[in-house]
């Protein structure tokens, strides 16, 4: 019998070899620890890269700015001239090169709608300008 030998005690190494469930638990714990440390290191480095800009509080009496994205979400009724322009562009034969298939589908979708989004109205004006080579004029 040697010094330090205990016959009833298993070492960790022999426990991992004999019990695969214990080994898989150790691997999972190690992976979780690595993941947590990596994500915290990434978040710290990103926070350090951000420029330090003081946050200014808006004044209470200041009116909020309008977001141009939401302005396109308003509904409008198309004018008879706009409806006629859509019908004319859909009926063009031969179709100009500037009038793409996506534009045709877009115009077909608007053809019989009672109301349009402002963004759709702008798109119709842009397509008309590309096809005819001049800006849309509401007074035409």
Q: Do 107 and 75 reside in the same domain of the chain?
A: yes
pTM score, two decimals?
0.48
Q: Do 76 and 34 reside in the same domain of the chain?
A: no
- Residue 38 has what pLDDT? 77
Q: Is residue 24 part of a domain?
A: yes
Average pLDDT, the chain: 76
Domain that holds residue 20: 12-49
Contact 138, 121 (CB under 8 A): no
Domain count for the chain = 2
Q: Record the tokens describing residue 98, joined without a space.
A: 């500037």
Q: Is residue 55 part of a domain?
A: no
Answer whether the bond into residue 94 is a cis peptide, omega within 30°: yes
Q: Is residue 6 part of a domain?
A: no
For residues 1 and 99, the model is more confident at: 99
pLDDT tens-digit series, residues 52-111: 655 555 544 555 555 555 555 788 899 999 999 999 999 988 888 888 888 889 999 988
Q: Do 88 and 45 reside in the same domain of the chain?
A: no
């Amino acid at each position: 019998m040697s010094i330090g030998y205990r016959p009833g005690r298993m070492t960790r190494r022999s426990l991992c070899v004999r019990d695969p469930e214990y080994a898989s638990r150790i691997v999972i714990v190690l992976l979780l620890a690595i993941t947590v440390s990596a994500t915290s290191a990434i978040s710290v480095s990103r926070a350090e890269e951000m420029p330090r800009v003081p946050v200014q509080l808006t004044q209470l009496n200041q009116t909020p700015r309008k977001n141009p994205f939401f302005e396109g979400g308003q509904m409008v009724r198309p004018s008879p001239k706009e409806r006629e322009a859509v019908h004319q562009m859909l009926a063009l034969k031969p179709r100009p090169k500037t009038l793409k298939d996506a534009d045709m589908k877009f115009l077909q979708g608007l053809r019989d709608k009672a109301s349009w989004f402002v963004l759709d109205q702008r798109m119709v004006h842009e397509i008309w300008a590309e096809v005819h080579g001049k800006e849309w004029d509401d007074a035409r």
